[in-house]
Structure 1
Amino acid sequence: MDLSIVRLLEQYDFHTKLYQNCLEDIRPSDAQRRVTLDTNHIAWLAGNLVSVRYQLGKSIGLREQSKFDEIFKNQRPIQNHITYPDLVPIREEWLRITPILREKLLSLTKEDLLSDQPFDTPLLGKSNLLNTITFIIHRESYSIGQMGLLRKIFGYEAMQYN
């Protein structure tokens, strides 16, 4: 197994836990609450992260499809006219795809990781699968940080690392 994927899977596992910690005890009304009309809310952030894990899975051969594929497809930004799903079913989708995707990521060979991707990733230049996975893991950090900040803004305890 390639050492780079091992390191990325450590981050993947850490994000899996932090994602759940961010959603802990969030009331449904706060999940849909936005600081301004220009910001995302927790339900969109959580659902978008689920969508990204499903999309990564599809790009490496998985056939699983999210229940919320239509709402979040093509990395569509938050839509003002949509009431997003509650966190319970979003979290269930996260828990469903996460172990399946992890197992598939573990099975990737060095050749798989260096294979061309149909698009370039920001800041990483010409993309291969490894760069794509690296970017997605970084993007998860960014979104989890936003959810953690929204927790504090709405008066919840800080996200826990344990």
Structure 2
Amino acid sequence: MDTPKSKKIELIIPAYRMHTQSFMNVLEGISEEDALKRIENKTNHIIWMAGNFVNMRYGLGGVLGLQTEDPYNDLFFQGKALNESSQYPSLAELQKSFHEISPKVYQKLLEVTDEELDEIFEIGMNIPFVKETKLTFVGMCLGREDYLCGQIGLMRRILNYPGMKYEMNENISY
């Protein structure tokens, strides 16, 4: 396993890599047609969920100093509500973006220092027991990724796909 500069980030590294694997696994075999289906017009579709997941990776990269922007930021930034009249990217396009940004964010996670993680990063949550730092934001991003994978996993079953597998591709090192 890669060794991060920050001791505070050591728990994040395996979780980040597991989320990479989970994202790939949860989308495995989903058709582009099914990825746009909603349940009783009440749920987001898988495209929106996957797009929000990828957007979280771009957001995390930005907080860690990457100078790159999500090409679909206008559709997904801060969990922007699904808009039925918008043209969403395909799953293939989102997966391409995911594989472009994820290794860059992983490298930044390895390079970030404790001092950088302790920097104030105001999220606007206004919760007295949550100190808004870059480290807090990293944790919030991972929590959001967990949530989105769970939502996509549920949609898999509703759309009659088999449950997500937990196989690991050891060639993916981010």
Corresponding letter in the other structure for 1:24: E
SS class of match (1:49):
helix
Distance in 1 (alpha carbons) for counterparts of 2:78 and 2:114 = 28
Corresponding letter in the other structure for 1:102: Y
Q: What do residues 111-159 of structure 1 show as CA deviations (whole Å, max 9, x unaligned)?
A: 1111101225586612111111011101100000000110011011110
Aligned twin of 1:3: 7
Q: What do residues 62-108 of structure 1 show as CA deviations (whole Å, max 9, x unaligned)?
A: 11122212222343111121232110010000000000011011111
Deviates more, 1:90-99 or 1:59-68: 59-68
Aligned residue-pair number: 162
Runs of at least 4 residues of structure 1 off by over 3 A?
A: 120-124
TM-align CA RMSD? 1.6
| 2:7–2:114 Cα contact (<8 Å) kept | no
Corresponding letter in the other structure for 1:6: E
Distance in 2 (alpha carbons) for counterparts of 1:119 and 1:22 = 29
2:31 pairs with 1:31 = no
Aligned counterpart in structure 2 of residue 138 of structure 1, from 133, 143, 164: 143
Aligned twin of 1:150: 155
* TM-score, normalisation: structure 2: 0.87
- The 5-angstrom pairing of residues 23-102 of structure 1 reads 23-102=27-106
SS class of match (2:10):
helix
SS class of match (1:137):
helix
Unaligned runs of 5+ in 2: 168-174
Distance in 2 (alpha carbons) for counterparts of 1:151 and 1:122 = 35
| Cα distance change, pair 141–18 in 1 and its aligned pair in 2 (3 A) | same
Distance in 1 (alpha carbons) for counterparts of 2:115 and 2:28 = 39
| Cα distance change, pair 126–109 in 1 and its aligned pair in 2 (3 A) | same
| 1:121–1:132 Cα contact (<8 Å) kept | no
Distance in 2 (alpha carbons) for counterparts of 1:133 and 1:113 = 9
Identity %: 32
| Cα distance change, pair 111–69 in 1 and its aligned pair in 2 (3 A) | same
* TM-score, normalisation: structure 1: 0.93
